[in-house]
């Protein structure tokens, strides 16, 4: 194994920490959402803002640090931004956006790693390209859905 390859222990640490992040989001879903969009009301309603702010900082930092180790600093930011943007394309609510973003991110990493291994390409670039293609697909679906809705509305009136 050459020096730039990902070690097995890094994969296991990533899987464990990803599980911790997923569990934390599932357990504390409402409070961080409330704190993010209306901090003053969240504090007034009894949410422990300092503790939750720290938890949110850690939950944001863990995927970034894990991503930097796997794909590098610049591409780690792309892996944070592109799946989030993709998730917002068809989301009816915040929960749906989180789920869609998670599916896009996970699917992009898995598909990108498989393609990179199969075609002997750099994993980081392939992962980001797959992620971007997912964004383009969801963006196109959103535009088509809007066009169809507009067409139906114009035919009904």
DSSP string computed for 1-49: --TTSPPHHHHHHHHHHHHHHHHHHHHTSHHHHHHHH-HHHHHHTT--H
- Kindly state the percentage of the chain with pLDDT values over 70: 91
Mean confidence (pLDDT) of the chain? 82
CA distance 141 to 147: 10
Average pLDDT over residues 37-63: 79
Flag whether pLDDT at 2 surpasses 60. no
- Residue range 109-134, pLDDT digits in tens: 889 889 988 898 888 889 889 999 99
- Kindly state the percentage of the chain with pLDDT values over 90: 24
Flag whether pLDDT at 106 surpasses 80. yes
Domains in the chain: boundaries: 1-71, 73-157
Model confidence pTM above 0.75: no
pLDDT at 1: 40
- Residue range 81-93, pLDDT digits in tens: 999 999 999 888 8
């Amino acid at each position: 194994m050459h020096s730039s390859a990902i070690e097995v222990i890094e994969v296991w640490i990533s899987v464990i920490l990803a599980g911790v992040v997923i569990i934390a989001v599932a357990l504390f879903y409402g409070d961080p959402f409330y704190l993010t969009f209306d901090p003053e009301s969240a504090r007034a309603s009894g949410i422990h803002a300092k503790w939750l702010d720290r938890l949110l900082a850690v939950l944001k930092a863990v995927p970034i640090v894990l991503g930097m180790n796997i794909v590098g600093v610049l591409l780690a930011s792309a892996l944070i931004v592109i799946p989030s943007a993709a998730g917002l394309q068809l989301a009816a609510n915040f929960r749906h956006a989180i789920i869609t973003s998670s599916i896009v991110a996970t699917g992009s990493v898995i598909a990108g790693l498989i393609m990179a291994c199969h075609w002997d390409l750099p994993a980081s670039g392939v992962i980001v390209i797959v992620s971007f293609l997912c964004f383009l697909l969801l963006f196109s679906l959103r535009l088509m859905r809007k066009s169809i809705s507009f067409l139906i509305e114009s035919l009904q009136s």
